[in-house]
A and B are shown apart, each in its own frame.
Chain A
Amino acid sequence: MKAYIRSLPSSAIDLAFGITYGITLLLALFPPLYLAASGSRTSVLGMPFSLSYWILDALLIGLALWAKYAVEDVRGELDEVLDVAATEGSHR
């Protein structure tokens, strides 16, 4: 799995995250969507859909961002490079 993630082109990862982020932005910013959910009493997550709509939107972007972080971690894209000279100097 890790080897597969490392082999993916950056553009594919950016596209997947971009689409997800776009969907969550649309859900929150496009009036026909949030007005369609407004007032709905259908039970989702144990509460009216009118409420869970916003919680699901937050959950979706939260999980997508967590996945992006995990992928970047596997690909070694998160860390800076250790400055050996500075580190040794700081320990003296």
Chain B
Amino acid sequence: MIIMLSMLAAFYLVVIGILYVTQQASRPSFDEYAVGGRSYGPWYVAMSYVNSWWPGSTFIAFFGLAAGAGVFGLYGLAYSTLGVTFMYLMATRAWRWGKRFDLRTQPDLLGMRYRSGGVKLVASIIGVVSLFPWVVLGMQALGNLFEIASDRTWSVTACLLIGLGVIVLRQFWTVKMGMRGLIMTDMFQGLVAYAVAAVVCVVMLTGVGGSPISFGALSRVGEEVLRVPGDGGSYGPMYMFSLIFTGVVGSLCWPTSFQRIYTASGVRAVKAGTLRTMLISGVFYTLLMLVGIAGTTVAEVRAAPQQGWFTLLSQYGGTWALGLAVVIVFAASMGHIDGAVQVCGLQIANDIVNSGRRSFSDLQLTKIAKSSMIVFMALAGVVAYLTFSLDRLQLLAQISYQGIVQLGVPLFLGIFWKGGNKFGAIAGMVSGFLVAGVLTLVYPDDIRVLGSLTGGIIGFVVNLVVFLVVSAATKQTQEDRLRVAELFAMAGRRVPVAAAPAPGVGVAQPAEGLTS
């Protein structure tokens, strides 16, 4: 127990040390606070994106999927790589509009595109509401980690309270430093959570040192492990489609992921960051899933797949390896919670409070964002404590996933298509969110009569139809058509930027014809 707790403490102290060393002496502007002054290079963007994308539950829920159901777990690889590709494709427009109009959040972009405070408000509320259950679950997961680290000698309540205390203390720096604090620690947390985890997986798959699994075990797994849902079993053929489609769309709808575009120093940094994100995600997640699938040959893992990561590491290297497993999950959990708290506080200040009815100074907005983060975090902490033993919270998280993808319709159409208007966007999002929410309450997993489609997909279709019909019925005004045409033309022109402030960031030298 002492060894594992010491390892956690050492990791935690390094994180706090990084925050202490990298904090700025001067008070940051709201732009620096919100998006780090749009100054970060591709590696920072990538690691921050990966941290916001793979929470600690990846090592529990997704690993459990691979260790319990086999190839099914690889659906996460498909949606993450295909989804990140969307980020690349929308990078130029999203970043240039962000730079020109000083956009800081995803709802900011939607509000600008449709010239509507209502669109911005609805999108922001959907984002904050959808992220809330994940922060609560993340906090509860930390409680579970402390249960393991204490060899289950501490009470469940004590573990939860310690987990909450640790993450709340960490958030002091998130509140104080904003995006900068997040980006700096994401690099270290990401290295531990994903790079170290990938190395551990490779070592185990080689089978050296008495590893309980090996690469060769993949060829000996059971027949059922190689079958995806829909190929026999109780699920219909559309279940895999539903999960991957929702994941692809969701990859840019989560406010935490989208905001990484605005932290980048330029289009090159976003695109290069996207490639690195794909590399890190692809390698890490593939290896993790292969370990999980090979783990189906281990009886103890088969008996409790969700604990499989800890079981395998414990069997492989005893207490030290189990401690490393706990630290890896702790790093991933912390990175995800940090990002969610930061972006929710920011959206509450920037999109909900700062709705245009009255103007706020930079200082006031920063204070509102800080207060919002504290309230959001405290609320999540209280809910985490009160619902620690409730299973239904997982259902809320499922609903939130089906809900967040409803931002996809106005977001993707708004970036890639000149049509549509604010009435269509609001009506589509609200109807899609409601349909997805109600259907997911009735059918938490899938809708069998529809081939195992999920409620989120039905909501998405309703959202799309309502968006198109309402937009066609209410029509774009001539003024709006011209404004949107100018927006798209503007996105084709390069933006003047100062010299690269971060290493590894490409900025073109002034040259003739560059601003065409």
Contact = CB atoms under 8 A, between A and B. Distances in A.
A47 B237 contact: no
Contacts of B278: 61-62, 65
Contact of B498 (A40, A55, A59, A83): A83
A66 B514 CA distance: 24
B497 A83 contact: yes
A80 B510 contact: no
B494 A78 contact: no
Contact of A31 (B85, B230, B272, B275): B230
Interface in A47-83: 47-48, 50-51, 54-55, 57-59, 61-62, 65-66, 68-69, 72, 76, 78-83
B81 A58 contact: yes
B415 interface: no
Nearest to A37: B228
Contacts of B360: none
B495 interface: yes
A39 B81 contact: no
Interface in B250-289: 266-268, 271-272, 274-275, 278-279, 282, 286
Given A34-B228, A61-B81, A78-B267, A69 B272 contact: yes
A7 interface: no
A73 to B, nearest CB: 8
Contacts of A65: 85, 88, 274-275, 278
Contacts of A83: 496-498
A78 B271 contact: yes
Interface residues of B, number: 54
Contacts of B509: 82
A28 B316 CA distance: 34
Interface stretch (B15-23, B126-134, B238-246, B331-339): B238-246
Interface string B422-438: 00000000000000000
Interface string A14-51: 00000001001100111100110011110100111011
A40 B237 CA distance: 17
Contacts of B241: 29-31
A38 B71 CA distance: 9
B478 to A, nearest CB: 29
Nearest to A14: B89
B515 interface: yes
B496 to A, nearest CB: 4
B499 interface: yes
7 contacts: A25-B82, A54-B71, A55-B74, A61-B85, A65-B278, A69-B272, A87-B498
